């Protein structure tokens, strides 16, 4: 399943991919947090 896209709201925010450097990990975590918040808002306010 590693070759398939997993939506950010289903990912473990505290476990970014190991191949990323520090800046990329920071961006990945921030993007995952935003996507998770957006997903929660979509569920709460359809």
pLDDT in tens, the chain (46 residues): 456 777 766 778 888 889 999 999 999 999 989 988 998 999 999 8
6 phi, psi to nearest 5 deg: -110, 125
Q: Say what the pTM is.
A: 0.73
Coil vs helix vs strand at 45 = coil
Q: Is 2 exposed, middle or buried (0-12, 13-18, 19+ CB in 10 A)?
A: exposed
């Amino acid at each position: 399943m590693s070759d398939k896209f997993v939506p950010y709201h289903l990912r473990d925010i505290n476990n970014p991919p190991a191949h990323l450097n520090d800046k990329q990990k920071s961006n990945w975590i921030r993007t995952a947090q935003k996507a998770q918040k957006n997903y929660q808002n979509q569920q709460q306010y359809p």
